[in-house]
């Protein structure tokens, strides 16, 4: 891997993977991994992120990181052949809780795409504030400082934006239902 590509990969890991390390470590502790075992698994995950050919296929780095750690823990436990029954139960519970089924993932992606398509209809400042709050995870105070407005303005714009998006979402759902009814009656087939 050339130096520039390695630098880009390190930046990607820093942005998308490292923020989730504490959750992975907490799950490893809950799965009764020793601190040394957890350190080794997390380190192994980072090595794998550094050496995989491409990260372009990874749409949800946090889930990918979690699955990688889970698989490494399972492999470690199989090698050790000492698996407390409680660990298996906890592992199964974590798999059910943390990894959504493909239909849910597809539905969530579709819903997010529909929501993002509604954002350009908002006033510019309101749209930017909503993006900073909901997508970037910034606090009201951080947004206010970044945009040079009061926290009250941020709060009001968030409330307005959420109300607008809810109404636009309901309207789009209603129109889709109406179109489906017309289609079912043969109206769209003419």
d(Cα 183, Cα 181) in Å, to the nearest integer? 5
This prediction's pTM: 0.45
Does 107 lie in the same domain as 65?
no
Rg (CA), the chain: 22
CA 19 to chain centre: 12
Do 118 and 185 have their domain in common? yes
**Domain with 142 in it: what CATH number?**
1.10.10.10
Residues 48-106: tens digit of each pLDDT: 888 888 888 888 888 889 989 998 998 888 877 655 555 555 555 555 555 666 787 78
Q: Among the three residues 84, 99, 114, which one is the final residue of a domain in this structure?
A: 99
Residues 26 and 70 in one domain: yes
User: Both 154 and 77 in a single domain?
Assistant: no
Q: Are residues 60 and 115 in the same domain?
A: no
Predicted confidence (pLDDT) per residue in 138-176, tens digit: 889 999 999 999 999 999 999 999 999 899 988 888 888
What is the distance between the alpha carbons of residues 87 and 31, in angstroms, rounded to a whole number? 5
Pair 132, 93 in one domain = no
Residue ending a domain, choose from 99, 125, 140: 99
At residue 145's C-alpha, the angle toward residues 143 and 147, to 5°, is: 65
Domain extent at residue 168: 103-189
* Number of domains making up the chain: 2
Tokens representing 88 are: 């298996």
């Amino acid at each position: 891997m050339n130096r520039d590509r390695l630098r880009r990969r390190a930046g990607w890991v820093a942005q998308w993977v490292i923020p989730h390390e504490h959750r992975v470590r907490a799950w490893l502790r809950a799965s009764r991994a020793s601190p040394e075992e957890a350190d080794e698994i997390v380190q192994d995950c980072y090595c794998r992120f550094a050496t995989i050919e491409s990260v372009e296929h990874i749409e949800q780095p946090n889930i990918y990181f979690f699955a990688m750690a889970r698989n490494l823990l399972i492999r470690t436990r199989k090698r050790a052949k000492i698996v407390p029954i409680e660990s298996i139960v906890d592992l199964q519970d974590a798999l059910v809780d943390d990894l959504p089924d493909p239909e849910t993932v597809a539905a969530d992606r579709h819903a997010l795409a529909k929501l993002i398509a509604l954002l350009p209809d908002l006033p510019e400042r309101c749209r930017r504030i909503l993006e900073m709050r909901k997508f970037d995870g910034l606090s009201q105070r951080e947004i206010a400082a970044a945009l040079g407005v009061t926290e009250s303005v941020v709060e009001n714009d968030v409330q307005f934006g959420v109300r607008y998006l809810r109404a636009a979402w309901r309207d789009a759902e209603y129109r889709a239902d109406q179109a489906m009814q017309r289609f079912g009656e043969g109206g769209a087939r003419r």
